[in-house]
Structure 1
Amino acid sequence: MPTTKALNLRKFMDKLEVPHENHEEPTLLTNPDLEPMPSHRRGWGFFSFFGYWATPNLTIWTWLTGSSLLALGLNTGHVMGALTLGNVIICIYTCLNSNPGAKYHVGYTVCQRMIFGIYGSGIGIIIRVVLSIVFYGSQSWLGGLLLVVMFSSFSKGFMDMENTFSDSADMTKRDFIGFLVFHIIEILFLYMRPEKINKWLNGSCIITTIAFVAVLITCLVKNKGPGDIYYEKVNLGKWEIGWMWLKAITIWYGALSPDVTNQSDYSRFASSPRKMYLGIIIAVMITGTFVPLFSLICASATSHFYNTQFWLPTDIVLQWLRDDYSPGTRAGAFFLAFAFASSQLTFNVSANGFAGGMDLSGVCPKYINIRRGAIITALLSWLVQPWKFYNTSSVFMSVMSSFGVVVTPIIAILIADFMVIRKAQLPLLDLYSTSPDGTFYFTKGFNLKGISVWAISVALGIPGLIADLQNDHQIPQELVNFFSGNVIFAFILPFCLYTLVCKIIPVKNAGIGDKEDYFGAFTLEECDKLNIEPHYRSSLVVFDDGLLAVPSENKINKYPN
């Protein structure tokens, strides 16, 4: 018989399990957050996706990315041309990568089982978890700087606070306080359901747009124009300009690549694929154009007026406070910082906090759900020391470029697998099965084809990344070029290679879907389109708006072992 100690431990572990009222007990592969999204939770339309994809661009993060690209030796016209092409690529990748979530209402974590296998999916999940932690920390640091501006508008003593930290800390005491407080505020928002953040996203978009326009107009008025950098000529050859354009696109895309990668986490909330596509495209093309343009103009104007390029709007506003600490300037600084902080917070919570929570729930579904995983992501983000990312523009750009090397092949393989190999048909039930006969069990739970193609694609980008970080000129130029253009090369190579391998060695059950809705997640209209039978037909409740409800007591154990 079990000892008292063993029984107590078991009771303790039972209490730690993810709450699963009206759901089956969490298992190795599922909990309520990993199941296909039921119809009543799919409320994201055009404005929700517009807000979700506008918010990343309406942050000081994107402002910094745009202005830092001047360090490549390009002028404003060249940078804007490159970024416009980059926005088109981002739209294409994002819309294509939305399809599994939009059609089958499953998130990134479950999609990884398609391309890496039931157990091999841990590769894609861990990569996205690490990126969530890194990005959460870096965005929180920028959010902390915004709180510094807000606090400085209250107190000149805080603005001029003596730094008691050593130089090796790479941050000041004042900035650390802002970072800590911003973290605490974010934790409160992590208790929200992910699909409920859309209204906060839209609200932050509106006030941040107003704030960005205000900063731009003020800089232009103070400087009486955009400054000399805006009109500078480029001292590069045509071939060099071409590669710098490609590198600029790679850096720009790299800043958003983690959000493109886990798009299924949010496309599963879509009420309509058409509304989703329109929201994504319009948001990226509009905000992804005017925000970097504003940043470039302001960097040029401040360079002329202050003899220093200010890469961040926080630095610009703090300079205004130093020049004139009057009540009017202080009020303006507070509201500008508040607007910037709102978009920084909603973006970080949705794109990194919730994303990390979703991915961690896939690592240990029995004990981690989205909320718990998001809080773990927030706590671990301190370990990456994000304040070091912003020491110089070159360090910042190298960090941005590196993300695409790892995640772009995942995007390419997933699109190739779902759209080309499986013809957008999934045996959904097998994504939650560890049976050796299951479609996604592959070789002992690992899809060696997907893993190998991903590994090859990443390996080709690593030497160029090393050369960029260490300024190593001994690495072959071809590999350096592959890294500079990984936004294109790291997609085309794995897409074609994976498709070819799967044509030579076909995957199991390609183009075959389930026979019925085992999850009670689809409406009658969706069941007709998918050519599947609604489950629990005798127990279905159909509302006037077409949504279905399935009494929980009629559910069965849907996940075969």
Structure 2
Amino acid sequence: MRLLSAIHNWLVLDDSDEARNRDIVPIPVHRRRWKFDGFVSYWAISSMCAVTWAGGSSIMYMGLTGAQTMGVIVIGNLIISVSALVNSIYGTKYHIGYSVFQRVVFGVKGSVVGVLIRSILSVVWFAYQAWLGGLCINIILSSWSQSYLNMKNTLPESVPMTTQELVGYVIFLIISVPVLMVPPEYYSPFLASGSLCIFFIGIGITAWAVVDNGNSYGTMMTKQLSTANSLGWAWIYGINSWYSSLVAGISNQSDYSRFNKKEWHSHWGILIGCNVAGFIIPLFGIVTASALAEKYGQEFWMPNDICMFWLQQNYTAKSRAAAFFCGVGLTVSQLGVNCVGNAISGGMDLASVFPRYINIRRGAILCLLLSWPTQPWLFFNSSSTFLTVMSSFSVFITPLVAIYLCEFFIIRRGIIKLSDCYVFSKNSIYWYTGGVNWRSLLSFVCGSAPGLPGLINAANPNIGINSGAMHLYYGSFIFQFAITLAIHYFLTFFFRVPIGERDMEDYFDTYSPAECAKLGMIPYAGQVFEGEDPEYIVIEESK
């Protein structure tokens, strides 16, 4: 019996109910450790990674010059930062994350819709970034051993990866595990160190490329690589593409803004981190690729490819040292952006769906394990269109963001009844119809539908669509947002939803006594509210 009891205690995080555990209730004061530098670092490392470094290449091939591409990135970053800031406010004020807010928007049962969509994104992007992390691990190991650099591939030709790539990927997953064990409130220093690493690596690689090319940065800043689109639509599609690459960060911003010590920390941290770092790293990528293309007649868009190029050209002490330090910095960067931006966010989602059995750590490890069946090597080493489809997932995320903003700012005027977010019964005002808010579901379906033809065409170019549908897809970040916002507003206007009032008592120990006085709330009394029944229960710590 003791063994069964121990197994139960390990599996079940909280015997209280099916609606919450320690990781999804509003964050108390003692866990709010993120300051201004933490939010700057979060967005800096989201921008200062290998994917963002190479991000300018896809935009340039839409028919823009390097200078025009940087203009697209500036506008895209401004849209991203403002959207992320606005979408972080419910987390800042109520200290709840993305997954709990889904209960307000879709209902306590319907919340699974938004949560599962982002969970899928988290798993796929974790796998993608982990594979890149494995390539960075290979830089380090290759700088140690020329035999490893020239490792013979022992896998069959039918397998779309090499032995070396597999080794690097496995090692990266292994070293990710201890990082995922750290509670999210303590990630700020790690993110800051990763951001600094990639920043100085970027300066070093870019300076080397320009000097190696005779102090010339090449011609890409003024040269078009393609004339595939008209200039106007190339700009719009470029902005949409850049926005799509970071749209998951927009939707989940409240997962981290709920840890802020002060509201302005997250607001200014998002604006500065996204716009400053998001400009510098793509500029490094374009300048480096331009200089090396002029020097060697070959385009190098990924920083890890440049490091391997050093080792393959001249395996000297100088090149090995440069590759080693760059490999370490790139690995730290990949660990930061992948663990925090993908695995931890996915863990938060799964903790909301299965609160009795999964906390953030367990959910993050599950995301890591699911990266294997995702087969990220297909993204890089085959003609798979899966990554193209995932990059177009803003077709679904943009309508969600529009619904969130409409729901919080226009319909509810910033009012959330926290206690009812954790009641899975008709006693909750977020029960709606059978636990589901059909208005939000209908708004989501109607808002997503216009972008589907373009998504289908991206997955299979042989399926043709007319120019109107294609242009709507190019500007989905504008058109789908406006369509969804309008539909959701009018649905809710004609079919009213209960708004409720803020809790008059701090049932979750969320606020300090000073904050309670400012909000007109009764301070936390050591117990947590349980529905509309007057009895109270205590939420246990995660085991």
Per the shorter chain, which TM-score range? over 0.9
TM-fit CA distance, 1:310 = 1.2
Alignment partner of 2:470: what SS?
A: helix
TM-fit CA distance, 1:12 = 6.6
The corresponding residue for 1:530 is 519
- Amino acid in structure 1 at the alignment position of 2:217: P
**Residue 484 (str. 1) matches residue 474 (str. 2):** yes
Match of 1:14 among 8, 13, 16: 8
The corresponding residue for 1:548 is none
The corresponding residue for 1:227 is 218
The corresponding residue for 2:77 is 87
After superposition, give the CA deviation of every residue in 1:256-304 in whole Å (9 maximum; x if it has no partner): 1111111111010011111211111011111111111111111112222
| Equivalence map 1:505-544=2 (5 Å) | 505-509=495-499, 512-536=501-525
TM-fit CA distance, 1:516 = 1.6
**Residue 278 (str. 1) matches residue 268 (str. 2):** yes
Match of 2:160 among 147, 160, 170: 170
**Residue 556 (str. 1) matches residue 540 (str. 2):** no
Contact 2:139–2:308, Cα closer than 8 Å, also in 1: yes
| Equivalence map 1:255-404=2 (5 Å) | 255-391=245-381, 398-399=388-389, 401-404=391-394
Match of 1:504 among 494, 503, 507: 494
Q: Distance in 2 between matches of 1:302 and 1:166?
A: 33
Q: Distance in 2 between matches of 1:176 and 1:253?
A: 31
TM-fit CA distance, 1:393 = 10
Query: Cα RMSD over matched residues?
Result: 2.2
- Amino acid in structure 2 at the alignment position of 1:532: M
TM-fit CA distance, 1:526 = 2.2
Residue 513 to residue 16, structure 1, CA distance change in 2 (3 Å): same
Contact 1:518–1:558, Cα closer than 8 Å, also in 2: no
The corresponding residue for 1:549 is none
TM-fit CA distance, 1:473 = 5.4
- Amino acid in structure 2 at the alignment position of 1:557: I
Q: Distance in 2 between matches of 1:9 and 1:484?
A: 58
TM-fit CA distance, 1:14 = 1.9
Contact 1:137–1:382, Cα closer than 8 Å, also in 2: yes
- Tell me, which stretches of 5 or more residues in structure 1 are unaligned? 1-6, 541-554
- Amino acid in structure 2 at the alignment position of 1:340: L
Match of 1:406 among 387, 396, 406: 396
Alignment partner of 1:231: what SS?
A: coil
Q: Distance in 2 between matches of 1:87 and 1:379?
A: 32
Q: Distance in 2 between matches of 1:299 and 1:411?
A: 34
Contact 2:45–2:194, Cα closer than 8 Å, also in 1: yes
TM-fit CA distance, 1:217 = 0.5
After superposition, give the CA deviation of every residue in 1:230-249 in whole Å (9 maximum; x if it has no partner): 32147759x81111111111
Per the normalisation by structure 1, the TM-score is 0.90
Residue 235 to residue 178, structure 1, CA distance change in 2 (3 Å): closer
Q: Distance in 1 between matches of 2:194 and 2:483?
A: 38
**Residue 493 (str. 1) matches residue 493 (str. 2):** no
Alignment partner of 2:425: what SS?
A: coil
Contact 1:53–1:280, Cα closer than 8 Å, also in 2: yes
| Equivalence map 1:77-226=2 (5 Å) | 77-224=67-214, 225-226=216-217
Alignment partner of 1:30: what SS?
A: coil
Alignment partner of 1:169: what SS?
A: coil
The corresponding residue for 1:416 is 406
Q: Distance in 2 between matches of 1:235 and 1:122?
A: 42
Deviates more, 1:343-352 or 1:68-77: 68-77
Q: Distance in 2 between matches of 1:440 and 1:184?
A: 41
- Amino acid in structure 2 at the alignment position of 1:278: W
Alignment partner of 2:230: what SS?
A: helix
Match of 2:18 among 28, 44, 47: 28
Contact 1:18–1:26, Cα closer than 8 Å, also in 2: no
- Amino acid in structure 2 at the alignment position of 1:556: Y
- Amino acid in structure 2 at the alignment position of 1:322: Q
TM-fit CA distance, 1:181 = 0.2
TM-fit CA distance, 1:13 = 5.8
The corresponding residue for 2:532 is none
The corresponding residue for 1:4 is none
Per the normalisation by structure 2, the TM-score is 0.93
TM-fit CA distance, 1:166 = 3.2
Contact 1:129–1:360, Cα closer than 8 Å, also in 2: yes
Q: Distance in 2 between matches of 1:214 and 1:195?
A: 32
**Percent identical:** 36
- Amino acid in structure 1 at the alignment position of 2:337: F
Contact 2:210–2:288, Cα closer than 8 Å, also in 1: yes
- Tell me, which stretches of 5 or more residues in structure 2 are unaligned? 528-534
TM-fit CA distance, 1:395 = 5.2
TM-fit CA distance, 1:527 = 2.0
| Equivalence map 1:455-494=2 (5 Å) | 455-472=445-462, 474-494=464-484
Q: Distance in 1 between matches of 2:26 and 2:128?
A: 31
Contact 2:12–2:357, Cα closer than 8 Å, also in 1: yes
After superposition, give the CA deviation of every residue in 1:125-145 in whole Å (9 maximum; x if it has no partner): 111111110011000000000
After superposition, give the CA deviation of every residue in 1:22-63 in whole Å (9 maximum; x if it has no partner): xxx342110111111001111111101001110011110111
- Amino acid in structure 2 at the alignment position of 1:258: A
Deviates more, 1:330-339 or 1:485-494: 485-494
Q: Distance in 1 between matches of 2:259 and 2:265?
A: 12
Contact 2:399–2:481, Cα closer than 8 Å, also in 1: yes
Contact 1:58–1:291, Cα closer than 8 Å, also in 2: yes
Q: Distance in 1 between matches of 2:11 and 2:382?
A: 44
After superposition, give the CA deviation of every residue in 1:497-532 in whole Å (9 maximum; x if it has no partner): 21121112111025x212221212111232233332
**Residue 43 (str. 1) matches residue 33 (str. 2):** yes
Alignment partner of 2:154: what SS?
A: coil
Contact 1:41–1:269, Cα closer than 8 Å, also in 2: yes
Contact 1:71–1:393, Cα closer than 8 Å, also in 2: no
Q: Distance in 1 between matches of 2:443 and 2:260?
A: 31
Contact 1:68–1:397, Cα closer than 8 Å, also in 2: no
Contact 2:63–2:224, Cα closer than 8 Å, also in 1: no
After superposition, give the CA deviation of every residue in 1:437-473 in whole Å (9 maximum; x if it has no partner): 4210000000000011111212221210111221145
TM-fit CA distance, 1:324 = 1.2
The corresponding residue for 2:530 is none
Residue 26 to residue 211, structure 1, CA distance change in 2 (3 Å): farther
Residue 396 to residue 293, structure 1, CA distance change in 2 (3 Å): farther
Alignment partner of 1:72: what SS?
A: coil
TM-fit CA distance, 1:394 = 10
TM-fit CA distance, 1:164 = 2.3
Contact 2:34–2:261, Cα closer than 8 Å, also in 1: yes
Q: Distance in 2 between matches of 1:168 and 1:486?
A: 38
Residue 394 to residue 95, structure 1, CA distance change in 2 (3 Å): farther
After superposition, give the CA deviation of every residue in 1:161-216 in whole Å (9 maximum; x if it has no partner): 11222343222111111011000000111111111111100011112110011000
The count of corresponding residues between Structure 1 and Structure 2 is 531
Residue 233 to residue 253, structure 1, CA distance change in 2 (3 Å): closer
Alignment partner of 1:556: what SS?
A: strand
| Equivalence map 1:443-462=2 (5 Å) | 443-462=433-452
The corresponding residue for 1:552 is none
